Amino acid sequence: MKKRINDIMIAGFALFAMFLGAGNMIFPPTLGANAGTSWLASLLGFLITGVGFPVLGVISMTLSKGEVEEFTKNLSPWFSTLLISTILLIIGPLFAIPRTAATTYEIGVHPFLTGMLNENALNIAGIVARLVFFIATFIFVLNPGKVIDTIGKFLTPILIIVLALVIGKGIFAPLGTPAPVEDRNFFLIGFRGGYQTMDALGSILLAIIVIESLIARGYKGRKTLFSMTAIIGLIACIGLALVYTGLAYLGASSSGLLAESMDKTDRLVKIVDLLWGRWGKTILGLSISFACLTTSVGLTTIGGEYFSKKLKLPYKPVVAIITIISFFISIVGVEGIILFAGPILEIVYPVVIALIFINFFARFLPNCWFTRGAIIGTLLVSLSLGVTYLRGFINTVFKTSLDFTATRAFLDKLPLAGIGLSWIVPAIVLGIICGVIAMFTKSCKK
């Protein structure tokens, strides 16, 4: 029993560290600042999509034996491959990996060069810093060893201690009081803001690591793995909720001091500077930089292994391509990456959330069309919503003047749209319709 508790605690804190992700810490302070006195509503929405759904994703994967193929088995093979490939591109070279480099520069380098260099020199320094970051990533990916494990082992506790000190001082010696702001649907803003963590997407892959580690320690059986993973997920959930709540409060308490238009990385750096001065800012910058490097290496490795296997290409050229693409995208900066990622996450995130929930009940469904219908219903709504966010881009690139006002108005009238779950009712309805039809046609019967 003692060994089991110890293994659960170790895995729980490891999952917490993996989910925490250096890039995710920049979101709660801005959510809190923009919501002011309504920061708790914004935080609640963020915690659901940025913590709750990812943890459920890990637990859900235990029912699929920790295998992606089992998790997506009720989908058509081509769509399953497309979905997993899309997820790996999102948490890989398109958004997540570039964001680690951009975050490293904006928190770990830029604050210390401002005032010393002019704008042109800062731009050059930014490119050089990103280049060094990805050269290091490439070297570590091709030469796996104890260095990156050591960084993760020692830097994660340091990062947690730094956050505890920053949040603790911010609570006991607050920078100010939350300022009143114009009333908006802050819950929905936080809910969609949680998409940017990308953790629900990554949970499918992180679950494999957790489950394999438990199996390696001698634990077997679906019931045992499910119960242990549930507790592990709860530990990670509590840890993340505490950190994000603290950071959101810091943002809210500084809402009267800092401009609302401030970039997310600048806000976090400024808050730490106000609380702990240059030393605090330096330690935070270093710990986040190394944590970002660890994350970049891990994501590049996962993407390299998957795409080299799928495309039947050598591993080294694949990771080189991933690294090069990530470098160029990272140059647009954290805010630019977030802006581009938004519409794509609006499309993909609900589909993954739907799959996570369906997987809890998959064994009770008589055929695969209950799942497929639900995903079609989800995708119809999420794709429509994503396209409305891409209106400006579509009209500019294709020289059109499309107006999605009517589409957006319709989507906003769907049940649960006010809390970001407009896809649920269409998913349930289409899932039932397709599943019942398949029962009579005996299509895809288990």
Global pTM reads 0.91
pLDDT in tens, 104-117: 999 999 988 887 87
Q: In this predicted structure, what is the pLDDT of residue 252? A: 93
Cα–Cα distance measured from residue 37 to residue 52, given in angstroms and rounded to the nearest whole number: 23
Report, as an integer, the average pLDDT of 142-159. 66
Is the pLDDT score of 203 beyond 60? yes
Portions of the chain given CATH number 1.20.1740: 2-342
Which letter does DSSP use for residue 48 in this model? I
Residue 1 reports pLDDT greater than 80: no
The model's pLDDT over 372-422, given as tens digits with 9 standing for 90+, comes to: 999 999 999 999 988 888 776 666 656 677 777 788 888 889 999 888 899
Mark out the alpha helices in 262-368 (DSSP H runs): 264-310, 315-330, 333-361
Distance CA 168, CA 275 (A): 10
Give residue 150's identity as a one-letter amino acid code.
Answer: T
Label residues 262-276 b or e (16+ Cβ within 10 Å = b): bbbbbbbbbbbbbbb
2-342: which CATH architecture? Up-down Bundle (1.20)
